[in-house]
Structure 1
Amino acid sequence: MPEANATPRVWVLDAYRSGEKTQVRALAQGLGWPYEIKTLRYRKKEIRTTLFRGRDLRGVDLPASDPLSAPWPDLVISMGMRNEPVARWIKDQSGGRTRLVFLGRLWADPAHFDLVITTPQYRVPDRPNVLRNALPLHPLTPERLETARAHWAPKLAHLPRPYLTLNIGGPSGPYAFGARASARLLRDTMALAKTRGGSLLISSSARTPPEAIAAFAAQTDVPMQLYRFRPNDPENPYLGFLAIADEIIVTADSISMLSEAYATGKPVHMFDLGAGTLSMRHDALVAIGERAQARALARHDPDRPDLSLGALAYRALMRWGWKHLSRDISQMHLRLARSGRMTWLGEPVRPASDTPPPSDMARALDRINALVGRS
């Protein structure tokens, strides 16, 4: 624990997936304290730590990683399976003084961490030190959105309003995303855009299938600005498109994109990647035991889903495998739809709110401040 009124020393064990990087950095930035990012490289053939969830550095390629040495931090923020043993090792080196905050899914017992911040798609058990937020943490603030709006609004002023922003993800877990989903996304998005009479602002991502980009690139019925994703592009308009949107459509494979869209306070439509018995809506109803409603939904769905071996294998794992190995994002969709926070594309839209949405970040920051004696 830091001395009274002293600024805590914070380490971020950097995540190794882009969505996870966003979450841990957003939390560190939200605290408002200086922090040091520790980038680690991992030994691909080390399986003991992975299997037995230890508290050591066997899985880390130490010469290729940032140094981990005293003075030890007061707080470690991390996410991702490979970082669990590292965080626990750091706490041991500090004599138990370091506080550990872990995000997302845990493989070890939550008792090994001081605070676990998770969301409903992960099967983390309920414990006093587990904070279950509605959506993943993100770095969007009103100030960042306003900066993005000021930058992009003049560049898009030639397009007629209202603006309908579409953020396209890609295949995820049990949901394939190919030609059929791309065609449905185009059909349903165009139907809404024509009803609104405005323009489309479309952002793709690293996972977006080429079929989806090609489908929108070929349409000429609605004015449009289409961004094709490029890594590390300083002119990526993603934030700008969110900031100036009147309504937002998000493919529901990405919980992070849904979280960021929700943070704008604009009406948000979720696009279901699947169809019939392989739809996200069907899975959510089955998960809560509403099988008759799920069957009725599938029976009246005229569309057909994309199929892939990877998605079908993931479904088999969810049904018959160890539950902890998979995540169930349909639980997130169900909560978002039934809470009125979002609607499925094609259903009546939720009105825009004049008040900021509830802040999961504020809840997380309050818990961390109390953890390090700063409340």
Structure 2
Amino acid sequence: MTSFNPEAPVWILDTARLGEMAQCRVLAETLGVPFTFLPLGEGFSLPPSVPDLSALRLILSFGNTAKAALALRERCMAYLQAGGTGLRPLIVHLGRPSHIPAAAFDLIIVLPQDDYPLAPNMLRLALPLNGASLSRPSFPDPGARQGGTVALYGAASKHFTHTLAATRSLVLFTQRLAAANGERAQIITGPRTTAEEAGWLKTLTAGTDVALHLFSPQTPQFQNALATGSRFVVTADSASMVADACRTGAPVWLFPLPARHTASTRLQGMMDAAGLRGMRHTLVRQGKLGSGADFTRWHAWLQRMGYVRLARPGLSTGDLIWHPAAGRADRDLALCRDRILAMPGFARSIRNTPSAPKEPEPAAVEQAAPCPAL
């Protein structure tokens, strides 16, 4: 990330995770004012000191940085009480805040895979913000893309595991999909892909017509693939890569992976099965209970709404030449922008900032209802 600039009115708490920071960046860019990335310490902690807090108006936090965002606001309030200049900053949090009351945030932008209850200050996305742009209010027609079939390979995560058997199935499906469409096939790994997973791919693609590209921060292979790929196969672990691929307008095949159940998902399943979902949601809103993720529900919604199809054995050649409907509305980023600009006092607080946007008309704010992702 670029060097920290305390004079910017919007501060993004830097998690050093590419997918998370890409979403924060695209959201900050829509606000039309300068923004900066504040590096965090070990355990997503704030630095011991920040040189100047007077310009800060909005804190953008993501995932595990929720507590750091609250601590930064407390530091600002102490600075103001000591006679410093400035205003109380607003906090917009992306993702689900864990064990923190929902009311502690000015706006919570909940990702579609998050199992987080409704709240007055909450907006739920249909897709993560990766690949979103205000200049593209609908999914583009993919046109005559010539990049062939591209498999985007993530990594084992808290909710999914990658196995040799699943990786073998991915390679075989990618080959079959490419053959059905008369295209070349390639597999691109991500920044989280482990050495073991990369080793599986090297072995399985050796001597085949599948080109393997291992992730490197020095090369734009992922961006080039998104710009040119004719169709995509995306492993189920990465919501960010699913969003990136869907927003190309090209066909996207979701590759299922073995689920990994955490203590949180087991607890939420037990409470829901006992008819205590309402109580669980109340406790989550109050910050007394953590929330989990529900990829299964979101993945089912993506299939039902025609965003993706499920990669599975036994599909016919006719099935494999599927194309999604063109022109689907993509409102997530505009909804986020409008909700932030409508927060009490925010537009006024940045009015004298270069390139500051106008407050949205009240009618536009009233229409800012999230897509029913869950």
Q: TM-score, normalised by structure 1?
A: 0.70
Pair 1:138 & 2:155 matched: no
- Per the alignment, do residues 205 and 26 of structure 1 end up closer, same or farther by CA in structure 2, a change over 3 Å counting? same
Indicate which of 246, 253, 273 corresponds to 1:262.
246
Pair 1:217 & 2:201 matched: no
- Per the alignment, do residues 219 and 30 of structure 1 end up closer, same or farther by CA in structure 2, a change over 3 Å counting? farther
Runs of at least 5 residues in structure 1 that lack an aligned partner in the other structure: 1-6, 45-58, 145-152, 279-310
Indicate which of 112, 119, 139 corresponds to 1:127.
119
- Matched to 2:39, the amino acid is T
Q: CA RMSD in A?
A: 3.0
Secondary structure of the equivalent of 1:97? Answer: coil
- Matched to 2:265, the amino acid is M
- Per the alignment, do residues 111 and 315 of structure 1 end up closer, same or farther by CA in structure 2, a change over 3 Å counting? closer
Residue correspondence of structure 1 range 230-249 to structure 2 within 5 A: 230=216, 232-233=217-218, 235-249=219-233
d(CA) in 1 for partners of 2:147, 2:17: 34
Higher relative contact order (CA 8 A, sep 6+): 2
- Per the alignment, do residues 43 and 255 of structure 1 end up closer, same or farther by CA in structure 2, a change over 3 Å counting? closer
Contact kept in structure 1, 2:113 and 2:239, CA below 8 Å: no
Which digits, 9 at most, give the CA deviation of each residue in 1:94-123, with x for residues without a partner? 576322111101121121111110123223
Which digits, 9 at most, give the CA deviation of each residue in 1:162-195, with x for residues without a partner? 7111111011223211211111111211121121
Q: Percent identity?
A: 29
d(CA) in 1 for partners of 2:253, 2:127: 16
- Per the alignment, do residues 43 and 137 of structure 1 end up closer, same or farther by CA in structure 2, a change over 3 Å counting? closer
Which digits, 9 at most, give the CA deviation of each residue in 1:31-58, with x for residues without a partner? 23211221121369xxxxxxxxxxxxxx
Pair 1:105 & 2:96 matched: yes
d(CA) in 2 for partners of 1:368, 1:143: 18
d(CA) in 1 for partners of 2:324, 2:20: 28
Which digits, 9 at most, give the CA deviation of each residue in 1:105-147, with x for residues without a partner? 1121121111110123223221111000111112454989xxx
Higher alpha-carbon deviation: 134-143 or 334-343: 134-143
Secondary structure of the equivalent of 2:293? Answer: coil
- Matched to 2:106, the amino acid is D
Secondary structure of the equivalent of 1:324? Answer: coil
Runs of at least 5 residues in structure 2 that lack an aligned partner in the other structure: 1-6, 82-86, 137-143, 269-279, 281-288, 348-358, 361-374
Aligned to 1:204: 189
d(CA) in 2 for partners of 1:169, 1:71: 40
d(CA) in 2 for partners of 1:315, 1:251: 19
Contact kept in structure 1, 2:171 and 2:205, CA below 8 Å: no
Aligned to 2:180: 195
d(CA) in 2 for partners of 1:243, 1:43: 35
Aligned to 2:214: 228
Which digits, 9 at most, give the CA deviation of each residue in 1:294-323, with x for residues without a partner? xxxxxxxxxxxxxxxxx4xx4454214797
- Per the alignment, do residues 43 and 100 of structure 1 end up closer, same or farther by CA in structure 2, a change over 3 Å counting? closer
Secondary structure of the equivalent of 1:62? Answer: coil
Pair 1:76 & 2:42 matched: no
Pair 1:273 & 2:257 matched: yes
Contact kept in structure 2, 1:14 and 1:24, CA below 8 Å: no
Indicate which of 108, 127, 135 corresponds to 1:116.
108
- Matched to 1:74, the amino acid is R
Contact kept in structure 1, 2:112 and 2:128, CA below 8 Å: no
Which digits, 9 at most, give the CA deviation of each residue in 1:219-239, with x for residues without a partner? 42x4x4421112x21x22111
Deviation (angstroms), 1:60: 3.2
d(CA) in 2 for partners of 1:257, 1:118: 17
Q: TM-score, normalised by structure 2?
A: 0.71
Aligned to 1:304: none
Secondary structure of the equivalent of 2:56? Answer: coil
- Matched to 1:258, the amino acid is V
Indicate which of 305, 323, 338 corresponds to 2:304.
338
- Per the alignment, do residues 43 and 200 of structure 1 end up closer, same or farther by CA in structure 2, a change over 3 Å counting? closer
d(CA) in 1 for partners of 2:154, 2:102: 31
Secondary structure of the equivalent of 1:102? Answer: strand
- Matched to 1:229, the amino acid is F
d(CA) in 1 for partners of 2:154, 2:296: 16
Which digits, 9 at most, give the CA deviation of each residue in 1:268-313, with x for residues without a partner? 1000012xxx5xxxxxxxxxxxxxxxxxxxxxxxxxxxxxxxx4xx
